[in-house]
Structure 1
Amino acid sequence: MTLSAPLITIVIPTFKRPKDLTRLLNSIDADLGQRDDTAIIVADNDVAETARKAVETFAAETGRSVDYRVAPEPGVSNARNVGMSGVHSRYVLFLDDDMEVVPPYLEPILKTSRDLGTALTFAPAIAALPAGTEMLERWLSPLFSRVVEGDTRVIEETLGTGGCLVDLKGVSLPSPIFDPALNEVGGEDDAFFAHIIAQGGTVGWCANTKAWEHVPPHRATPSYLWRRHFAFGQTPTREAADRGLRGWPEIGKWTLIGGAQTLIHGPLYLLHRLLKRPSRIGHFGRLAQGLGKIFWWDGLSPRLYGSKAR
């Protein structure tokens, strides 16, 4: 007897977060209920296999089958590619190991994709900040959250991979699917989304569900905020540079925008810092984004992922 392929595969890259992974898997179990058309793949990016016990315990306690795979080469692209190597379904839902889905989750996203006919469908990811950061929540939360204002609809922009459902029907995937050259600096998801959109794929927003994104204490720090904002600012200029001579007008545009952001938010950050206002965090991030647009080349890209992550 040949088992039919699942309709949906949930792909979870993970790296040395067994407790977070357990929380995510338990939330998935609660969301799926009696649903039997969904497969789960965990791609462990740690050669020490620190996620294995969490996966085995979850499978034993819930009776759910989990395809556990090891991605020995460090890097977020490598982990996602290993996860995708086991996909045989029409739909793929990407979740990050620090997320926690809030039921009903999968069904509303799937319904949105079907109703709108979108190849990429995103759902809200709301930052759950660590204790002690309450005073800064207004400025920290937008950095780690992925939210589009408004109702369920077709949208133009894309968000992060965690919380994205991909309809693979009629889609030609790149090889490798996620670019290993972006393992440590990020942006591999933007390149993947751009590849699908270039084939005519549309983007949808599912407003009627959500997931939590749990932020660890070491990321709710000024140094990490700076690196992440700086890398975010680099992205549009670097993408323009990748187009060669055709991208030079865009490089000029983003450099000017970055200069304006720096001139505006640099002084505002210093002033709000002198006044000891929490709002300094917002200007701090915008200053980093502005400088990232100006200093966009790879040698200056913060290493946010992989073996050199800081």
Structure 2
Amino acid sequence: MTQTHRRTTKIDVAVCTYRRAELDQTLLSLAVLTIPAGVQVRVIVADNDVTPSARDRVDAMRSAISFEIAYVHCPASNISIARNACLDHATGDFVAFIDDDETASQDWLAELLAIADTTGADAVLGPVKAVYANVAPAWMQRGDFHSTLPVWVADEIRTGYTCNVLLRRSAPSLAGRRFNIALGRSGGEDTEFFAHMHDAGGQIAFAEDALVYEPVPSGRATVSWLAKRRFRMGQTHGRMLLEAATGLGRWRAIALAGTKSAYCFVAAALLAASPVKRHRYGLRGIMHAGVVSGLLGVREIEQYGNLEKAPQ
């Protein structure tokens, strides 16, 4: 009787890092992942600093992690360069991305893989749960303004993010696809990446139990940080609309986004007594204002490499 052997599934877990001591906790959370039978994991750490500042930190963690760790130095201060380095060095069937200030739940990778197997999707997103410190405003914690979930449009997910995702490397929609280096300092490179992947026929699924946790530092627990982030998100969306809009279509899109922004600001004023609703509408108004900015061709504000440069 001939015995059949199941082929090993190989997964590269990619972590892009830039001067973050929290990388230690990220790697330790990967060390205790539940790995399904027949799955082999390798970790890729892409150091985006000018100097290889994370090398010693990664080397010190090797004894605590049973997986192979590939360290890649890919300067500098451009997240797209780091993400592309991870894709270039990936050799597995799948590549999963997690941020260097996040920690994975024990079943994170298993849950992503299970949904990939059952749906056949090209990309599987998981939720990112924000963890607030006591210094965060009460309304911010109640409204949970920092957690990340996918957005459904007409019962499908049309774009995604890299803070919790599994990619099927053999998918035609991902063949040769890379992150836009021009957006590597502003952000929005992941939104564009997944939107173009979807436009190429790629399916994006959601694994609701593939949870990762992200602490919210004091510098992010502010209205100004949220406003800047929402405006940049709007700029990215507006720029993508601009790629497809021509003639009067562009001005119709500007008018629509401007109307939505005004509506949200009015709603925020009328809901002044409810902090959660007021800020939710206000931030949405700022996002739509960002869409107008993007449609007018204004360059996106730079975030990566400028914010939260915590020393090692």
TM-score interval (norm. to shorter)? 0.7 to 0.9
Distance 2:93 2:14 in 1: 13
CA positional deviation for 1:206? 0.8
1:256 aligns with 2:258: no
Distance 1:195 1:174 in 2: 12
- Taking structure 2 as the reference length, the TM-score comes to 0.85
Is the CA contact (8 Å cut-off) linking 1:233 and 1:293 kept in structure 2? yes
Question: Residues 64 and 7 from structure 1, CA distance in 2 versus in 1: closer, same or farther, beyond 3 angstroms?
Answer: closer
Whether contact under 8 Å (2:72, 2:85) holds in the other structure is yes
The Cα shift of 1:270 comes to 4.4
Distance 1:234 1:64, change over 3 A: same
| Distance verdict in 2 for CA 1:268–1:138, change over 3 Å | farther
Partner of 1:295: 293
Note the C-alpha offset of 1:24.
0.9
Percent identity between the two aligned chains:
24
| 1:76 aligns with one of 72, 76, 79 | 79
Mapped partners of 2:274, 2:110: distance in 1? 45
Separation in structure 2 between the aligned mates of residue 289 and residue 38 of structure 1, nearest angstrom: 38
Q: C-alpha root-mean-square deviation of aligned residues, in Å?
A: 2.8
- Matching residue within 54, 59, 75 for 1:56: 59
1:159 counterpart SS class: coil
The one of 113, 118, 124 aligned to 1:121: 124
Alignment of 1:17 with 2:20, yes or no, is: yes
Counterpart of 2:100?
Answer: 97
8 Å CA contact 1:183–1:306 kept in 2: the answer is no
Give the partner amino acid of 1:155.
Answer: E
Deviation at 1:293, TM superposition (A): 1.8
1:140 and 1:220 in contact (8 A); partners too: no
Amino acid at match of 2:84: N
Is the 8 Å Cα contact of residues 129 and 214 (structure 1) preserved in structure 2? yes
Q: Partner residue of 1:282?
A: 280
Deviation at 1:225, TM superposition (A): 1.1
The 5 A counterparts of 1:133-172 are: 133-138=136-141, 141-146=144-149, 155-171=156-172
Q: Which amino acid aligns with 1:293?
A: V
Aligned AA (2:94): Y
Partner of 1:200: 201
Tell me which amino acid in the other structure corresponds to 1:302. I
SS at match of 1:37: strand
Does residue 86 (structure 1) correspond to residue 89 (structure 2)? The answer is yes
Residue 116 of structure 1 deviates from its aligned partner by 0.4
Alignment CA distance shift 1:8-1:90 (3 Å): same
Name stretches of at least 5 consecutive residues in structure 2 with no aligned partner: 1-6
Give the C-alpha shift of residue 80 in structure 1. Answer: 0.7
Query: What is the CA-CA distance between 1:117 and the residue it aligns to?
Result: 0.7
220-229 vs 50-59, which moves further: 50-59
State the secondary structure of the residue aligned to 2:144.
Answer: helix
Partners of 1:139 and 1:282 within 8 A in 2: no
Deviations 1:176-225 (A, max 9, x none): 71110111222211222133223322111112231112222111212211
Distance 1:166 1:127, change over 3 A: same
CA-CA distance at 1:70 after TM superposition: 1.1
Q: Which amino acid aligns with 2:96?
A: L
For the residue of structure 2 that corresponds to 1:219, the secondary structure is coil
Question: When the two structures are aligned, how many residues end up with a matched partner?
Answer: 299
* Residues 75 and 298 (structure 1), Cα distance of their counterparts in 2 relative to 1, 3 Å cut: farther
1:43 aligns with one of 46, 52, 57: 46
* CA displacement at 1:172 relative to structure 2: 5.7
Q: What TM-score do you get using the length of structure 1 for normalisation? A: 0.85
Q: Distance in 2 between matches of 1:196 and 1:291?
A: 26
In the other structure, the counterpart of 2:180 is: 179
**In terms of mean alpha carbon deviation, does 32-41 or 255-264 score higher?**
32-41
Letter in 2 for 1:281: H
8 Å Cα contact 2:122/2:173 also seen in 1: no
Map of 1:27 onto structure 2: 29
